[in-house]
Structure 1
Amino acid sequence: MEIKISPEIKTLIPDFKLGIIQYKNIVVSESPQMLKGRLRLFQESIFFDLEDKNVSDLVGINEWRQIFKKTGKDPNRYRPSVEALYRRIKKQNYIESVQSAIDINNFFSLQYQIPIGVYDTKQISGNVTIRIGNENEEYLGLNGRKNSVHQLIVSSDEEGSFGSPFVDSARTPVTEETTSALQIVYLRPSLHIDECSKLTESLMNMFIQIHGGEGNFEIID
C-alpha cells in the first residue's frame, strides 16, 4: 500500500509530515491490565496538570488547532481528536478501556498531544492519499454521526475518505477481528524528523509488544 500527501497540504503546511506504520499478523483483544493501568494513571496526572491551564494552550494541541485553521476549518467547532480527549479529562470524564489497539492510540495521542488513527487494512481499497476534504464530502463517523470533512485533512482510498484527525469513519475501524492494520500518526510539523522517527518507532514497538505480529514504519513528508 502506498501512502502519499497531496501537494495542496504541502503548500499550506510546508513542514507537514506523518508517521506511517503497517502491521500484519496481529491479534487485537481486551487490553492487558498493564495498558489499562497506564492509561488510567496518565489521565489522572493530566487532570491535575490541567487544573490551572486551558486545554487549547497546550503546545501540541495549539499547534494542531493552527493546522485546522490553515486548512479552513474552525477549531472551535471541529476540534482535533486529541483536544477532545483532553477536554474530557479536564472534566474528569476519563476515557475507559475499549480494546488494545484503541487504548494504545489514546495513550500515545495523550502523551504526545497529537491525533493518531488506526485502520483495518482489509477495509481499505487501494492506495491512500492524505488530502483536504472536498465540499459536500462527508462520512458516518465513529461518533455515530454524519460528519462533514470539507476543509479537514482526510485519509482517502479508492472509495473515498475514511479517516481524519477530527474523527475517523465507521468504515475502517480496527476490531477484534482485525489481523492487519494501518496506523497514521499526525505528527506536529514543528518536530524534527529524528524526533518523529523515535516517536513513531516507539509506538510501533509497543503495539507489536501487545498485539504480536510484524510492523514497519516510515516518515513521509
Structure 2
Amino acid sequence: MNISLNASLSMVNDQLKIGIIHYTKIVVSQSPQMIKGRTQLYQENLFLEMQEQPVTERLGIQEWRKVWKAFGADPNRYRHSAESLMRRIAKQNYLTPFHSAVDLNNFFSLQYEIPIGIYDMAKLKGDINIALGDKITGYEGLNGRYNSLENILYTEDAEGPFGSPFVDSARTAVTEETTEALHIFYLRPSLSEGECSELLESSGKMFTQVSGGDFTFALLTTSNPTITLS
C-alpha cells in the first residue's frame, strides 16, 4: 500500500507534515484503568487551564485553524477535530471511555493539540491519497450524518473518501475486532521533522503498550510525499 500527499497541497502549505503509524497484531478492547484515569485527570487539568487560556489561543489549535483557513475552509463553521474535543472539555463535557484505540486517539489529540484519525486496515482498499476536498467530496461520518469536505483535507482509498481532520467516516472505523490499524497524525507544520518523528515514536510505543502488537511509523512531507507500507 502506498500513501501519498497530493502535490497540489504543497502549493498552499509547503511545510505540511502528516504522520503515519501502522499497527499490526493489536488487540482493541476496553481501556485499562490506568488510561481511563490518566485521560480523566488530563481533561480536568485542561479544563482549569482553559479558564485562563481560551481554546483558540492554544498553540496547536491556533496553528491548525490557520492551516484550515489557508486551504479555504471556515475554521469557525467547520472546526478540526482537536478543537472540537477541546471545546467539549472547556464546557466540562468530558470524553467518556469507548475502547482502547479511540481512547488513545483522543488522548494523543488532546496532548498534541492536533487532529488525529485511526482506521481499520482490513476496511481499506488499495493505495491512499491525501488531498483537498471539493463540492462532491464527503461521506457518512461517525457523527451520524453526511459530512461535506469541500476545502478540507481528506484521505481516500480505492473505494472513496474515508477520513479527515474534521470527522472520520463510519466505513473504516476501528472496532474491537480490529487487529491491524492505520493512525494518521495531522502534525503542526511548524514542528521540525525530528520533533515529528519523536512524537510518532512516543505515540506508537504508548499505543502498543496498551494494545500489544508492533508498529512502524513514517512522515509524509512535501519533499517526501509518498511512503510504502509493507
Q: Same fold (TM over 0.5)?
A: yes
Matched AA of 1:140: E
* Separation (CA, whole Å) in 2 of partners of 1:71 and 1:173: 26
Q: Offset at 1:151?
A: 0.9
RMSD: 0.7
Structure 2 CA distance, aligned partners of 1:130 and 1:138?
Answer: 14
Query: Structure 1, residues 167-214: CA drift from partner, whole Å, max 9, x if none?
Result: 000000100000100000110000011110000000100111111111
Gaps of 5+ in 1: none
After TM superposition, give the deviation of residue 134 of structure 1 in Å: 2.0
Which residue in the other structure is 1:51 paired with? 51
Q: Which residue of 2 aligns with 1:18?
A: 18
Shift of 1:53: 2.2
Aligned to 2:191: 191
Letter in 2 for 1:175: T
Alignment of 1:1-221 (within 5 A): 1-221=1-221
Q: CA deviation at 1:52?
A: 2.3
Runs (5+) with no aligned partner, structure 2:
222-230
For each residue in 1:125-146, what CA deviation from the matched residue of structure 2 results, as whole angstroms up to 9, or x when unmatched? 1111110012122100000010
Give distance in 2, aligned partners of 1:195 and 1:6.
23
TM-score by length of 1: 0.99
Alpha-carbon distance between aligned partners in 1 of 2:5 and 2:145, rounded to the nearest angstrom: 27
Give the Cα separation in 2 of the matches to 1:122 and 1:134: 27
Distance (Å, rounded) in 2 between the aligned partners of 1:205 and 1:26: 12
Q: Which amino acid aligns with 1:212?
A: G
Q: Which amino acid in the other structure matches residue 36 of structure 1? A: K
Amino acid of the residue matched to residue 72 of structure 1?
Answer: G
Counterpart Cα distance in 2 of 1:128 and 1:208: 23
Tell me the distance in 1 between the aligned counterparts of 2:3 and 2:133: 16
Distance 1:110 1:184 in 2: 15
Sequence identity (%):
52
In 1, Cα distance between the equivalents of 2:128 and 2:208? 23
